[in-house]
Amino acid sequence: MVAEIRLAEALVVVDVQVAFVCGAGAVPAAAPLTEAIVGLVTKARAVGAVVVHLQNDGPAGEVDEPGTPGWELYLPVHEGADEVVIGKTGDDGFDDTDLGGLLHRRGVRRLAICGVMSEMCVSATARAALRLGFGVVLPHDAHATYDIPAAPDISDVVPAAVASRVAEWALGDGIDIVARAAAVDFVAPDTSPGEGRRVGDADLLTSARTACKLQSLGRFAMSDTTCHMSISLDGFAAGPDQSRDNPLGKRGREVHSWHIGDPRANDADKIAAEWLMRPRGAYVMGRNMYGPIRGDWDEEWTGWWGAEPPYHAPVFVLTHYEHDPIEMEGGTTFHFVTAGFDAAYAAAREVAGDKGVDIAGGASTVRQALIAGVIDELTLDIAPVLLGSGERIFDGVESFGFEPVEVLHSPLTTHIRYRRAG
């Protein structure tokens, strides 16, 4: 059984300093450890993922006292926008450092962690990352520690390999542990400048035969117009008979189960959910996507999402009936546009600037965007479900004009990212 490939947008290298991986004071099996870490760093650099080297500043007299040979980093650092060194004085790499701020500024959502002192610095940094909402991948062969000494009336010596495994186990269900660093690949975070691509290690991906197969990908530019829709196998984004009590229509939840709590969802679904929630500068959506009210505005309605919708940006709602803008918590303001799709899209482009526009649905609005030819990147989550009727996104769309650039899949859906051809 070969492990699925895990993707991360950043690599945090914890305390890989000379004192801990070289000479008589090195952790056991330092050679294979450093080989695995070098492989991770090489792959992360190749695609422009963020690489952070944590460097521990030990107390005076310790092997990692600042300025001593043992304090120096073992790996050469390619310092720049994508690779930095952050000093720390405690176990947790986020504590009293700019690590969290850096990762958030760069748009990182999922990171891989490697390094030394599994039960202390690696564990504390991983816990903090989880607490801050990051997805965390921990390759088993890319972290290590020392034997835990015997303690009178408590235990014999605990071998280092056992201590590392217990440290993994103690992190709980939130951590994504993989056996080998070879099962981790990288992608540049979506909010970084410039163009990038997925790691191009064809031999690795072929041999892995992973469920998350990667194709050559030109990463989307922030200024692009995007659209991400879940559809059934017969092309419906929602089932028939949509209502306030059943906003996705009959059996519509089956199309969306991959991101609304189905226990069969896997790592591919988590990654696709991160695509879905990436921030954009403005959104365009249809009246039906905004709410169940039909006809004139005969009641107050502020959307399906509560006081703080997930958009955090202007949202332009297509409607035939005028309505004053509605300002919500968290930066979302709903603007109601009666002049049609072109007017709503133009307004969204103007306010979004280089942060880009997302066509948020529903089916009719997506059809209009496809016919207008404004979508640069289209992601479809195709569920193995036949709805038979409902709302289709491709009715009246005479040409597609996209080519697939990435495919991920799970038992619940196949996620396909398309880019406009040419």
Q: pLDDT tens-digit profile of 17-62?
A: 999 999 889 999 899 999 999 999 999 999 999 999 999 999 999 9
Confirm whether 213 is domain-assigned. no
Q: Tell whether 177 is covered by a domain.
A: yes
Confidence of residue 348 (pLDDT cuts 50, 70, 90): very high
Kindly state whether residue 212 falls inside one of the protein's structural domains. no
pLDDT the model gives residue 252: 83
Domain of 354, CATH number, reads 3.40.430.10
The pLDDT of residue 295 is above 90: no
Claim to verify: residue 272 and residue 125 sit in the same structural domain = no
pLDDT higher than threshold 80 for residue 181: yes
The model's pTM is 0.52
Binning pLDDT at 50, 70 and 90, where does residue 223 land?
Answer: low
Does pLDDT of 199 surpass 80?
Answer: no
Q: Which domain holds residue 337?
A: 220-420
Report the catalytic residues: 121
pLDDT for the residue 282 = 96
Q: Which of 157-171, 178-192, 205-219, 382-396 has the lowest mean pLDDT?
A: 205-219
* Local structure of residue 259 (DSSP, 8 states): G
Question: How far apart (Å, rounded) are the C-alpha atoms in residues 197 and 219?
Answer: 6
Domain end point (choices 205, 235, 265): 205
Please, are residues 80 and 193 in contact by the beta-carbon 8 Å criterion?
Answer: no
pLDDT-derived band at 195, boundaries 50, 70, 90: very low
Same domain, 303 and 351: yes
Q: Could you tell me if 38 and 75 are in contact, meaning their C-beta atoms sit under 8 angstroms apart? A: yes
**Do 345 and 305 fall within a single domain?**
yes
In a domain, 210, yes or no: no
Average pLDDT, integer, range 291-297: 84
Lowest mean pLDDT among 65-74, 182-191, 376-385: 182-191
- Could you give the number of structural domains in the chain? 2
Tell whether 196 and 228 lie within a shared domain.
no
C-alpha R_g of the chain: 24
Among 205, 233, 267, residue at a domain's last position: 205
pLDDT classification of 218: cutoffs 50, 70, 90 = very low
Residues 298, 406 within the same domain: yes
Q: What is the pLDDT of residue 213?
A: 28
Same domain for 181 and 224? no
Q: Name the pLDDT band for 2 (thresholds 50, 70, 90).
A: very low
Query: Does one domain contain both 29 and 142?
Result: yes
User: 168 and 255 share a domain?
Assistant: no
Is 124 a member of any domain? yes
Whether 331 and 190 share a structural domain: no
| Residue 248 located in a structural domain | yes
Residue 1 within any structural domain of the chain: no
Q: Residue 203: pLDDT above 80? A: no
Model pLDDT for residues 228-263, shown as the tens digit of each residue: 999 999 999 988 877 777 777 888 889 999 988 888
Q: How many CB atoms lie within 10 A of CB 162?
A: 13
Separation between Cα atoms, residue 145 and residue 158, nearest integer Å:
11
* Closest CA relative to residue 190, chosen from 353, 9, 420: 9
Domain boundary among 145, 177, 205: 205
The CATH number of residue 93's host domain is 3.40.50.850
Shared domain for 75 and 153, answered yes or no, is yes
Same domain membership, residue 154 and residue 52: yes
**How many Å apart are CA 340 and CA 320, to the nearest integer?**
8
169 shares a domain with 244: no
CB 88 within 8 A of CB 95: yes
- Answer whether residue 83 is part of any domain: yes
Q: Please tell me the least confidently modeled range out of 206-220, 344-358, 385-399.
A: 206-220
